[in-house]
Structure 1
């Protein structure tokens, strides 16, 4: 499971997660410091998600023309430019443009161009039985370092109090740091080879991909379902959830950072359980039955009478809601041919980004008229619908490593859609 390529990807994942961890909290604070209202904050947050989706879509269509290394280096250059631009620009419309074309992430999770590219590289050198564990490791690194990044969101307050620096200057310095992180990621990816090997076969595979062909129908079906989940999630991306906490409970940045630090820790620890649950009950069951109770808790949070109760439910939810992330990534990589994995990762990631983009815009509007937390209720309801549909449509579509769970053959699409069983494929064909 260990390899120089995996190590480099995990280093970059950690660096990016640190930047995302504090930027997702400081973005609404910075925009409000610039004189913007919650609706404008939601609009810029929406632009970041739409832009990420479009850039990732273009990369998915064109990935077969380039090596993964080339695309990853281009993504890091875009990340650096985004950070430096946000530090230098203070007007709404230019910031909206930078948010649209850049890599800024309003969520503690990963919704950027990096995600499908890194997933495709990871899936090339691990076997079926190790794949979920590798994605858990990848997700856990991201969650732990993003939690540390959330704590770092308190640095501007500390700097303003201790060395009397202007609050705006302190916030802009954090965006400069985000740009520097992009340059560090580029330096690491510059050391990647042009080819990666398969640990199962010993063969060397060109790091180029192919467009969707055999897996098109199942990938598009998954993309539609993931979009529903992401649309709900857009109402509660970390930037908007933080804005709700600021508005509802008058939290300081430092206190919000502490809260999201612990939610990140709980999420990271949950990934350890995700491996055992997935091995025992399967990837789809892991995705659904850990996600459902988390979404019920999300609906209940706005009804809590005090901040303490709201934080308690947030923490419990964070211990459940992210178990599906490595399971989902592993599942998508398992059920498509290796050559189509980059395109599949892109096609399932892009609709998520685009669908989630409407959420912050609507959440900003809802917050501008009420501090109740309607966005959390809407998000939980939509996500529950997604869970039930995913279980209904894909419970019989098994990845190759789950043959021991029952005697059914793998299906490319659900039997409810008149699919026929297909033969089991070997690791290098599946």
Structure 2
């Protein structure tokens, strides 16, 4: 039996359509939540970190941590594993967009309504006011747009080119929508064939290679066909031959890989630089200092030592980042306008004790040092600081985080 993928807008009667299909068929339902849990288990990530991949907001640390790319890779492998099991699946949600290779026995369906019908559905089903419903729809559509753009390159989440069927549920209704989908499921074009089974194995192999590369800190596009794997580099590289060698050394020994071809993707010539992620180094470092030139220079000097960091200029912004993005290590100045460094330290160690905080100040006293260490600071350093001393202190703090 074919597999069915359903992607929909919020308040488009998709839940009712999915329920009817599940009642009328032998499909096994697979949701975003199912694959988030499986991806977290496969990749050794928290479910919260994996689920953040769907968010339109990218962490300020992602440039260095590649957490979103890692989550997407493990989600894709989780999806490929489920497809390879051979049981007929009804996959519903954001994860349907992760099918990066054509599998002819997968029927891809988009369910969407016009705005007025969606507002009416929201009022009737959820009791929302028109203003509340419009806000929720706008937020959901933004999430869908960003997600689809990131994983497919298409700016329109409802574009017909992404699907085999686009159903305007406001015009067809639940009964007719279900009937149309069931009619297409028996179409010979989506029958399971030996070729379509091989396409599933190709997708699975590509996903396995992608996650193997991600686990070693690499981020490239991967496709596979009959054991022939293609790796597409999408960012500029200073030493292409060295990167190609690294990629081949990881991919070529893998089971099922017959050959590896390294190419340049369509985004290779954009203004960005390929950086391999080193998991032995901290990637979620937050610098907090109101001296803008100093902290900008410090961030650049740390980057030269492969220590990426995000920067904020006041205590309030630092606490916002701690709440939303959870840095692993902070480098914190004491004397700042508004919420000072000692108060930031106190709140961080109270609410997020796992974050290690390095105090770096040019105006502190011995009493300040004692207060900070008593509050749980990892280290107390004075400006000007030897960059090698700071780098080693950062690594030591990160080692403590990893081992805790």
- Asked if TM exceeds 0.5, the reply is no
More strand by share: 2
More helix by share: 1
Instruction: Normalising by structure 2, report the TM-score.
Output: 0.28
Instruction: Normalising by structure 1, report the TM-score.
Output: 0.26
